[in-house]
Chain A
Amino acid sequence: MLFRYVLGILFVFLVFPLNGFSAESSISAADQTCMMCHSQEQDMTFDAGEKISVKVNIEEIGRSVHRIISCSDCHGFTADQHPKRTFKNHRQYTAFSAKVCTQCHVSHKTKIHEKLLSQSPKGTVCLDCHGFHSIQRARELSKGNHYCLNCHQRELSITFKTGEKQSIHINESILNISVHKNLSCTDCHFGFSSEEHPLRIFKSKRDYSIAMSESCRRCHFDKYSRTLEGIHYNLLTHGNLNAPVCTDCHGAHSVYSGRKEKLANAKKCERCHPEVYKTYAQSVHGGALILEHNEDVPICSDCHRAHDMTDPRTTDFRNAVPQMCGNCHADKDLMKKYGLSTAVVDTYLQDFHGVTLKFYKQQGKSVKPIAVCIDCHGIHDITKINAPNAPMIKANLVKRCQKCHPGATANFPDSWVSHYKPSLKKAPLVYMINFGYKVFIPFMIIGLILQIILHIWRYAVNR
């Protein structure tokens, strides 16, 4: 025994030269005794065969809040009394050690401590979150997100009333790639802090998600107030709990900007609207997005909007269609890239349907549905007009016309000059009539005005 003491002391002096002395000298004699052995690389083997090192890093203790108490205060051992104890495994040892904490820390400040302590030692114990030799003050731990992650980086889970289990393990690397990486946990999980950790019971995971999405509006109030007009919020308030809330589209801990990537955005909608997405994927827009990664094309939210999406079956939505399409199809620079005409919007707006629609919008109500872009070109299944089975080719167009004009015959679609400005090639009759009047009206009117002027002049001269 004496030999081991001497050896230990010699070893300590060898291992902790100079800078080690400050920590060394501040610890009590009793602790120095412990350190004689525990500063060496030694293993302890549990019954199950698991091994842990029993080496203690003295510097770690020097930094801990518990540097003022001695080893035996927690471990119960002294130099003279060092009984051999056996534990089944490391976990059992940890749980056993944790009991010691409650000898001093009796006041269970927060509900979560109460809950955890009431659970079996197999659950979470003090050491799991607070550490042991390096134990810190709560306020030191709570710097940044580390305080929360102390517990939540562990494989914890909660169980909802329905029996659903949900991991509450948080992967810090995910937090760091989110746009919220500079926020702290409690910014969203308000009501929680190093002091407060109320216990809340939710019926289901969905209930929890819906409740949590309320956090977002504390910062994103503009978006939140827009969602109030949206169909999703409306469905939610009418009891459809599957209607998406903020986190369903934006994610929770991995939240990132919705504007980032169009395809990823469209995919979000697919989760609930797979059929529509399938149709869209085959359309000229969807195809370009998915196959060519073309970001010029519209995705779901470009037409339906992101937060205040309204019911697309309403007349108001229908009446807004030419404007939606016009957002891109009237953009000269954008359309030039694809060799598309921007006259499509104006030719529509100046024609019978477009004029009627404009007045209906002004009147605030539609007397009857008016043909808009989608009625001929399709909605999610928009194709190129020269695609082989494009719905715009004449035979198909008649059927579209007949929806509103029951008596329409094969000739009828020709009455629509297909977005072309009348020319000698396209609609020559219309072109010639317009041209004729363009010449004749000024000729006539200027002639008449000249005659009036001459008449007045003659009258004045004669007087």
Chain B
Amino acid sequence: MKKLGDEYIKRFGPARIIEHWLNAIVFAVLVLTGLSQKFHDYSAAQWIVMTFGGIDATRLIHRYTGIIFAGLTIPHILAASFGFLFLKWQPSIIIHKNDFRDAIVNIRYYLGLEEHPARCDRFDYKQKFEYWGVVVGGILMIATGAILWVPTVAARFFPGEFIPAAKALHTNEALLAFLVIVIWHIYNAVFSPEVFPIDTVMFTGKISKERMIHEHPLEYERLFGVSLKSPEDENAPEKSMTT
């Protein structure tokens, strides 16, 4: 009999995978060149700046990488909107009120107050919040980054205080994004016991049937037209498979 773990279901096409990894590289470069400016008092930051060829070179790299980031983020938003409006793409990433409920259910489950974890669809609430963090944060970073690049132009349209405000926003949002990615995303994609040593979905585009049933049961049911469990069923497959 074929084990569930050996069966794979396609989750992402090559375009999404390329997009993810381009974003990852761009993000890494932006973090290196950006946070080293923010934390300029630390010798490690100074070493990074010097290695990039000085502060002007670091800023230049940061700004042009920022353009690439904008070139990834803005078309993504446009394409997603277009797909949703005209191509009947499923807005599966939109945050739904069920997501808040799922989050609470999951935390209760972690604490032992709930029998079963939240049953999620194509994207679970963690992925959705992270996604919107990247999109909204990205827009903020692009807008404030542009102001900081050409402050004299910005001052023609906005009060002068917008420039230091843009800097405050840019620098704080950067730190937040960095910490969320390093702690949360890297945990979920690398160190989480469920995926360790690494989540291969963003390399292969495929997810194992086992993980699919466990992590995205609603999507699985929808795709295959099956019902995985009834809440009363003690031997629900995902629970037995979790352990």
Contacts and interface: CB of A to CB of B under 8 A. Distances in A.
Interface in A428-463: 429-430, 433-434, 436-437, 440-441, 444-445, 448-449, 451-452, 454-459, 461-463
Contacts of B205: none
B59 to A, nearest CB: 9
Nearest to B183: A448
B158 to A, nearest CB: 7
Interface residues of B, number: 43
Contact of A441 (B49, B55, B176, B192): B176
Contact of A454 (B107, B158, B194): B107
A356 B107 contact: no
A430 B162 CA distance: 8
Residue among B167, B168, B187 having the largest count of chain A Cβ atoms under 10 Å: B168
Interface in B15-49: 37, 40, 46, 49
Interface in B149-207: 151-153, 155-156, 158-165, 167-169, 172-173, 175-176, 179-180, 183-184, 187, 192-194
Contact of B156 (A411, A459, A462): A411
B55 A363 contact: yes
A412 B183 contact: no
Nearest to B182: A445
B109 interface: yes
Contact of B107 (A433, A449, A451): A451
B183 A415 contact: no
B242 interface: yes
B243 interface: yes
A359 B176 contact: no
B151 A359 contact: no
A433 B110 contact: no
Contacts of A48: none
Nearest to A367: B56
A427 B160 CA distance: 10
Interface string B103-116: 00001011110000
Nearest to A455: B110
A409 B156 contact: yes
B162 A408 contact: no
A407 B40 contact: no
A415 B150 CA distance: 12
Q: Interface residues of B: mostly helix, strand, loop or mixed?
A: helix
A407 B187 CA distance: 46
A157 B162 CA distance: 74
A235 interface: no
A360 B55 contact: yes
Residue among A355, A414, A455, A459 having the largest count of chain B Cβ atoms under 10 Å: A455
Interchain residue pairs A-B with the least CB separation, the first 6: A414-B160, A415-B163, A359-B55, A437-B172, A454-B110, A407-B152
Given A409-B152, A454-B111, A430 B46 contact: no
A415 B160 contact: yes
A455 B159 contact: no
B74 interface: no
A462 B49 contact: no
A81 interface: no
A405 interface: yes
Nearest to A457: B110
Give the contact-size bracket for chain A: 35 or more
B155 A409 contact: yes
Contact of A449 (B112, B167, B183): B183
A433 B168 contact: yes
Given A409-B155, A415-B155, 20 more contacts: A358-B40, A360-B55, A362-B46, A362-B50, A408-B152, A412-B160, A414-B160, A415-B151, A427-B164, A430-B164, A434-B172, A441-B179, A445-B183, A448-B180, A448-B183, A451-B110, A452-B183, A452-B187, A454-B110, A462-B243
Nearest to A406: B152
A429 B165 contact: yes
A286 interface: no
A452 B160 CA distance: 42
B152 A405 contact: yes
A449 B163 CA distance: 33
Contacts of B168: 422, 430, 433-434, 437
B183 A429 contact: no
Interface in A403-429: 405-409, 411-417, 422, 427, 429
Contacts of A454: 107, 110-111
A411 B49 contact: no
Nearest to B187: A452
Contacts of B180: 444-445, 448
Given A408-B155, A444-B176, A445-B183, A367 B54 contact: yes
Nearest to A449: B183
28 contacts: A358-B40, A359-B49, A359-B54, A362-B46, A405-B151, A406-B152, A409-B156, A411-B160, A412-B160, A413-B160, A414-B155, A416-B164, A422-B164, A427-B161, A427-B164, A427-B165, A429-B161, A430-B165, A434-B168, A436-B172, A437-B168, A437-B173, A440-B176, A445-B179, A458-B112, A459-B194, A461-B112, A463-B243
